[in-house]
Structure formats: structure tokens, C-alpha cells
Chain A
């Protein structure tokens, strides 16, 4: 019997063992990432059945393509990449389209010059630490995410929720880093705007002076 995987066993080691046919290693990898994949899918799709499909497809695909995984990216980035593409496929299907794309690199919205300015500016009434405890806040967060275009949503989720770097997010989505940065900025600004309209204190709303040039 080989050594059983422990929570400390690094991904690369588990990947090697799994490639050699160790089921325990493959299961350890699945256990390690299944919640993240499911969470990402739920936030992208907001539908349990679809999130389950994405999760199962992702790990079946990991199993099938494991030999082809050469470690150019980290295992976690690779898994999230597979999951992202599976989620997008479902979104495309829902829209009845064959092509929606993360791939189209040059669209006007990917330009820093067209970044919308913050409109509703106010301090929040409560700290995030208090807010996460409240059940209605998840609803609010998910609604705000849903209002984001999926290509912005996915960049935000990979970068800010899953903690991938800009480079890794770009690799996962086949984008260049410049595109990731612009999309991330748009996503963060739009979410800020949406959340502040609900969580901001109207009594402390600030109005930006039109000719501020400090």
C-alpha cells in the first residue's frame, strides 16, 4: 500500500499518483476542489441542477484529460478553467446561441476610456463582517452578480473570489492580461455601484464636484 494522501500532500504529487492509476489520489484532488467548482458554477448559473452538471462534467473531464495535463498552469487553475468553460457552454445554450464569446478580444467595452464613473458614492452603514452574517445579503450579492455580463462576472469570480492572479485568470479564460484587467475593473465598479445603492448610507452620500482637479 502506498502512502495515503493527506491534506498536506501537494497537488503536483497527487496529480502524479493519479496519473499512475491511484484512485485515492484522484479522489483527494476531487475532494479538494469540488466545493470551489460547485460554488463557482452556482454563482455563474444560479441553478442547482446546472451547477451539479458543471461540477460532474468538470471532474469527468479532469479524469479523462489527466494525462494531457502537463502542469503548464497549476492544477487549480486548470480545474477552474474547465469549470468556467462548462458554465459558459450552459449560458450559451440558455441564450440559444452557438457563439458567445470570451474570445472576441477587441470590443469597445474592453477599453479603459469607456469605464463608467462611480455615481452613487456613500459610506456603507455596516461593515462587511456584519453584512456577511445576514441571510438577505447573499441574495443581494447574487442579484448584483447576475446583472453583470457573464464575461465580467467570470473574471471577477476567478480573480476576486477564487483568488487567481491576473495571469492565471487570463490563462483560464484564453484572454490577454489587458482584457482581464479592464473586465475586472468594470466588474468591481459595477458591483460597487449596485451594492452601495442598497448598503450605502443615503445621509452620507457624496456628490462629486464637476470640476475636481486635485
Chain B
């Protein structure tokens, strides 16, 4: 396997969905190729950083307004309740 081929299968490898035979080849390449190893690490870290990053909190005031608007609309839709 060449670096370029590895690149096209990176997603499947990182997500753990690569087929076992390919996975073995992938890992053989990684063991002998430091740049690819670091790229794989970097990609994993990138995903983790976004996934675990600080979430954006909805402003409380907006949340209240939105819930009011939704309740109003709900009552138009289900007037009997």
C-alpha cells in the first residue's frame, strides 16, 4: 500500500469500518511510515477536539421567547387542549 492509497481509506480506518484484510495492510503501512502515522493521529485528535469542544449555549432569553412562540403556535394547531 502506498501513502496515496492509505489516504483514500483514512475515513474507514479512523471510523473503524475498514474491512479486516485492508485494515491489516493499512497497519503494516503505518508501522513503516511515520508521516502517515502522525496524520492518522492528527485526524483523530482533530475529530476529538471538535466533538469535545465547548458547546454554544443558547441565550436564556431567546429560549424563553422561542418556547412562547411555539406554545402559541401549538394552541392554534390544537385549540381544544
Judge whether B10 is part of the interface by a CB distance below 8 angstroms: yes
Report whether A56 and B69 are in contact in the complex, using a CB–CB cutoff of 8 Å: yes
Does A60 lie within 8 Å of B69, measured CB to CB? yes
Is there an interface contact between B73 and A43, defined as CB atoms closer than 8 Å?
no
Q: How far is the CB of A187 from chain B (nearest CB, A)?
A: 10
For A38, list chain B residues within 8 Å (CB): 56, 58
A202 within 8 A of B: no
Taking the closest CB of chain A, its distance from the CB of B31, in whole angstroms, is 9
B13-43 residues with Cβ-Cβ distance < 8 A to A are 14, 29, 32-35, 38-39, 41-43
Q: Which residues of B contact A30 (CB under 8 A)?
A: 67, 70
List B contacts of A121 (CB < 8 A).
Answer: 35, 38-39, 42
Q: B53 contacts A27, CB within 8 Å?
A: no
User: A195 is contacted by which of B35, B38, B49 (Cβ under 8 Å)?
Assistant: B49
- Residue numbers of A with Cβ under 8 A of B are 21, 23, 26-27, 30, 34-35, 38-39, 42-43, 48, 51-52, 55-56, 59-60, 63-64, 112, 115, 117-118, 121-124, 127-129, 131-132, 137-138, 141, 156, 160-161, 163, 181, 184-185, 188-189, 191-192, 195-196, 200, 206-208, 212-214
Kindly list 8 other residue pairs between chains A and B, CB separation below 8 angstroms, not including A121-B39, A121-B42, A212-B2. A23-B81, A34-B63, A55-B62, A124-B42, A141-B53, A163-B51, A208-B35, A213-B2
